[in-house]
C-alpha cells in the first residue's frame, strides 16, 4: 500500500479563470444553445441520421429559441454569455447556432488564440490531441489549495475504476488492470472500512472487462457493468456482474447492446434505471465484424429492473436530435425529479477524442423523451460522472483531454442548467491525457471520495514491454464552496 505524503498531493486545487484584459460577465443561464462546437464548423446534415450530428435550433433548459426568431438575424453575430459561446451563422442559406460550453473565449481572445494554435500537424498526434484542444490561452488561473487525502490503491498498472458505498459506509472499489497486449483487462475488487485510508483486495471470482460502472443497491448487493468486447463470446452484448457478498464472489449476466453506461440510477423504490445509447454509430464496426445488420440511432435505451438485475424491461427514449455518434452516457435523478443525462460525442466535422465534447439532455417524463442536447463544457472535457449531493446540488467529475491533464469537478445549483466552470476544482493531475474515468460517492459526514486513474510515469516506455505507466488513486475531499 503506497500512500503519497507530499504537500502537493495531499490537497486539491480550487481555481478561477481570469481574463488577461478587463471585462467579465455575470454567471447566468444562456438564452440560446445548440449542439455543435464552435471550434469545428461544418455543413448541416440531412434529416436522416448520418452520424454528422447537426440538428435544428434547440431549446435551452430555461428558454425556448425558435427557428423563426433566429432567422431574423441575417448577418453572422457573436455574443457571449458567461458559460456559452453563441454564434448565429449562415451556412448553405440556412441559419445555425454555433456554441462551445464552459467559459468560452471572446472574439478578441479567439483572434489571439489562433496563431498560438497554428503550426501543428494534428493528424500525427494520437486522437488528434496536442494539449491545446479546447483551451483559451488568453487567461491566467488564480489557485487556492484545499486539504485532501490521496491514497494509491493497489500496484502500478491499476487503470480505470469505479467506487460504490454500502449502507454501513463500507467503500467498494473495482479497478481494471491489463492482462494481455491485445486489450484484455482483469478486474480487481477492493474494500475499505475506514473512509478509504486502507484497502483490501477481496474478490475471489476471476473478472474481466474495463470502463466499468459500480452500483450499490438498497440491499447492499452490487452490480457492475463492464466493456466486454475483448472477452465476451457475443460482442453485441454487454456483460454485467452481480455480487451479494460485498464483492467477494460474482455471477455473470449479459444483455443485448454492448454500450456501457457510466452509472446506474437507484430509484427510491430500490429499482434500477440504466440509460444507454440505443445504437451508437461508434459501435457499427463491432456489428460489421460479426456480420450483424446495424442501423445507428440518435436515441437512448431506457432499461429498468425491479429485481436487482435478474430481468430487464426496455424502451426507447426519444432524443430531439439526429446525432448518432455518442456514447458514454451518465444519467442522474435531479433534486427536481427530472432525469439529466451526459452524452460524450463528436460534434459535426470532428474526429477522434481530441474533438469530443459532452452534451447534456433532460427528460421530464421518466425517460420517454429527451430535450435537444446542449454542450456542457469545452472541447476535450469528457468522461463525465454525475452525482446528486445531499444538499440537492449536482456534482460532475470529468477528465481533461487538454492541458492541464487530470480529473476535475464542478457543481450545479440549478439541476444542471449551469455549472461552476468559473471555479473548477482539480482533484488529480496526470502526465498525459489517457487518464481519468473518475467516479464519486458522498460520505455521511459530507466528505467526497473520488476514484480515478492517472498517468504517473510518463517517461516510461508504453506497454507491452515497458513498465506500467498508470496508477489508481482515491481522493477524499470537501467542496471548497
Full residue range of the structural domain in which residue 399 is found: 146-477
End residue of a domain, out of 143, 170, 194: 143
Of 229, 279, 261, nearest to 330 (Cα)? Answer: 261
Of 279, 272, 231, 270, nearest to 254 (Cα)? Answer: 231
Domain assignment present for residue 14? The answer is: no
Same-domain check for residues 221 and 78: no
Same-domain check for residues 306 and 394: yes
> Can you tell me the mean pLDDT for 22-26?
34
Kindly report the CATH number assigned to the domain that includes residue 435.
2.120.10.10
Domain assignment present for residue 278? The answer is: yes
Domain assignment present for residue 3? The answer is: no
d(CA 150, CA 134): 28
Same-domain check for residues 357 and 244: yes
Looking at per-residue confidence, does 451 or 71 come out higher?
Answer: 451
pLDDT band at 127 (very low <50, low <70, confident <90, very high): low
Q: Over 70: is that where the pLDDT of 65 sits? A: no
Domain assignment present for residue 5? The answer is: no
Same-domain check for residues 105 and 69: yes
Same-domain check for residues 128 and 268: no
d(CA 49, CA 54): 9
Same-domain check for residues 241 and 370: yes
Same-domain check for residues 123 and 187: no
Strands 171-178 and 185-192 turn out to be antiparallel
Read out DSSP for 317-378? EEESS----EEEEEEEE-TTS-EEEEEEE--TT--SGGG-EEEEEEESSTTSEEPPPEE-S-
End residue of a domain, out of 143, 170, 185: 143
Same-domain check for residues 157 and 239: yes
- The structural domain count of the chain equals 2
Looking at per-residue confidence, does 248 or 104 come out higher?
Answer: 248
Domain assignment present for residue 124? The answer is: yes
Same-domain check for residues 136 and 156: no
> Can you tell me the mean pLDDT for 188-200?
98
Q: Which residues contact 167 (CB under 8 A, 6 or more apart)?
A: 216, 218, 220
pLDDT band at 42 (very low <50, low <70, confident <90, very high): very low
Same-domain check for residues 288 and 357: yes
Reading the block at residue 437, the C-alpha cell is 474515468
d(CA 480, CA 390): 16
Predicted confidence at residue 306, as pLDDT, reads 98
pLDDT per residue as tens digits for the range 381-432: 999 999 999 999 999 999 999 889 999 999 999 999 999 999 999 999 999 8
Q: Over 80: is that where the pLDDT of 361 sits? A: yes
Which residue's entry shows cell 440510477?
265
pLDDT per residue as tens digits for the range 109-125: 888 988 887 877 766 67
Q: Residue 87: how many CB atoms within 10 A of its CB?
A: 20
| Percent of the chain with pLDDT strictly greater than 70 | 78
pLDDT band at 316 (very low <50, low <70, confident <90, very high): very high
The answer to whether the CB of 434 falls within 8 A of the CB of 455 is yes
Same-domain check for residues 66 and 210: no
End residue of a domain, out of 143, 177, 202: 143
Q: What are phi and psi of 361, to 5 degrees?
A: -140, 145
pLDDT per residue as tens digits for the range 458-480: 777 666 655 688 999 999 999 99
Best-predicted range by mean pLDDT among 20-34, 279-293, 312-326, 343-357? 312-326
pLDDT band at 20 (very low <50, low <70, confident <90, very high): low
Q: Which residues contact 381 (CB under 8 A, 6 or more apart)?
A: 102, 134, 357, 358, 398, 399, 400, 401, 402, 408
Domain assignment present for residue 133? The answer is: yes
Domain assignment present for residue 82? The answer is: yes
Q: Where are the beta strands (DSSP E) in 244-320?
A: 251-256, 265-266, 272-277, 300-305, 313-319
The answer to whether the CB of 138 falls within 8 A of the CB of 105 is yes
The answer to whether the CB of 372 falls within 8 A of the CB of 32 is no
The answer to whether the CB of 478 falls within 8 A of the CB of 146 is yes
Taking CA atoms, 456 is separated from 186, 242, 436, in Å, by 20, 32, 12
Q: What is the DSSP letter of 134?
A: T
Domain assignment present for residue 13? The answer is: no
Same-domain check for residues 108 and 49: yes
Query: Across the chain, what does the average pLDDT equal?
Result: 82
Looking at per-residue confidence, does 220 or 18 come out higher?
Answer: 220
Looking at per-residue confidence, does 289 or 310 come out higher?
Answer: 310
Amino acid at each position: 500500500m503506497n500512500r503519497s505524503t507530499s504537500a502537493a498531493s495531499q490537497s486539491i486545487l480550487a481555481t478561477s479563470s481570469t481574463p488577461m484584459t478587463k471585462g467579465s460577465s455575470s454567471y447566468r443561464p444562456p438564452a440560446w444553445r445548440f449542439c455543435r462546437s464552435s471550434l469545428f464548423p461544418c455543413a448541416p446534415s440531412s434529416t436522416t441520421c448520418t452520424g454528422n450530428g447537426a440538428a435544428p435550433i434547440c431549446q435551452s433548459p430555461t428558454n425556448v429559441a425558435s427557428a423563426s426568431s433566429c432567422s431574423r438575424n441575417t448577418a453572422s453575430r457573436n455574443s457571449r454569455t458567461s458559460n456559452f459561446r453563441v454564434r448565429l451563422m449562415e451556412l448553405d442559406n440556412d441559419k445555425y447556432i454555433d456554441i462551445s460550453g464552459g467559459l468560452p473565449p471572446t472574439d478578441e481572445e479567439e483572434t489571439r488564440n489562433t496563431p498560438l494554435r497554428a503550426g501543428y500537424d494534428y493528424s500525427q498526434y494520437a486522437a488528434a490531441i496536442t494539449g491545446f484542444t479546447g483551451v483559451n490561452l488568453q487567461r491566467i488561473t488564480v489557485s487556492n489549495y484545499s486539504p485532501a487525502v490521496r491514497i494509491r490503491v493497489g500496484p502500478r498498472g491499476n487503470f480505470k475504476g469505479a467506487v460504490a458505498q454500502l449502507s454501513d459506509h463500507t467503500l467498494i472499489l473495482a479497478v481494471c488492470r491489463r492482462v494481455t497486449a491485445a486489450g484484455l483487462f482483469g478486474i480487481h475488487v477492493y474494500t475499505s472500512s475506514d473512509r478509504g485510508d486502507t484497502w483490501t483486495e477481496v474478490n475471489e471470482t476471476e473478472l474481466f472487462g474495463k470502463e466499468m460502472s459500480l452500483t450499490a443497491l438498497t440491499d447492499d448487493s452490487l452490480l457492475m457493468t463492464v466493456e466486454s468486447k475483448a472477452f465476451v463470446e457475443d460482442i453485441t452484448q454487454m456483460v454485467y456482474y452481480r455480487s451479494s457478498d460485498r464483492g467477494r464472489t460474482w455471477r455473470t449476466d449479459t444483455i443485448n447492446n454492448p454500450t456501457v453506461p457510466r452509472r446506474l440510477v437507484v430509484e427510491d423504490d430500490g429499482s434500477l434505471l440504466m440509460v444507454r445509447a440505443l445504437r451508437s454509430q461508434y459501435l457499427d464496426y463491432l456489428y460489421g465484424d460479426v456480420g450483424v445488420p446495424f442501423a445507428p440511432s440518435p436515441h437512448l435505451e431506457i432499461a429498468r429492473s425491479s429485481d436487482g438485475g435478474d430481468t430487464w424491461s426496455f424502451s426507447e427514449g426519444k432524443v430531439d436530435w439526429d446525432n448518432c455518434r455518442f456514447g458514454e452516457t451518465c444519467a442522474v435523478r435531479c433534486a427536481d425529479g427530472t432525469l439529466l443525462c451526459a452524452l460524450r460525442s463528436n460534434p459535426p466535422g470532428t474526429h477522434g477524442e481530441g474533438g469530443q465534447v459532452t452534451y447534456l439532455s433532460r427528460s421530464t417524463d421518466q425517460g420517454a423523451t429527451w430535450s435537444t442536447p446542449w454542450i456542457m463544457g469545452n472541447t476535450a472535457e469528457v468522461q463525465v460522472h454525475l452525482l446528486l449531493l445531499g444538499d440537492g446540488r449536482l456534482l460532475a467529475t470529468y477528465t481533461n483531454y487538454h492541458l492541464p491533464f487530470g480529473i476535475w469537478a464542478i457543481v450545479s445549483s440549478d439541476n444542471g442548467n449551469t455549472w461552476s466552470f468559473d471555479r473548477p476544482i482539480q482533484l488529480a493531475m496526470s502526465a498525459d491525457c489517457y487518464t481519468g474515468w473518475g467516479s464519486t460517492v458522498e460520505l455521511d459526514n459530507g466528505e467526497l471520495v473520488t476514484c480515478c486513474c492517472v498517468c504517473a510515469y510518463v517517461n516510461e516506455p508504453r506497454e507491452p514491454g515497458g513498465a506500467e505507466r498508470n496508477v489508481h488513486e482515491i481522493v477524499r475531499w470537501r467542496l471548497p464552496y
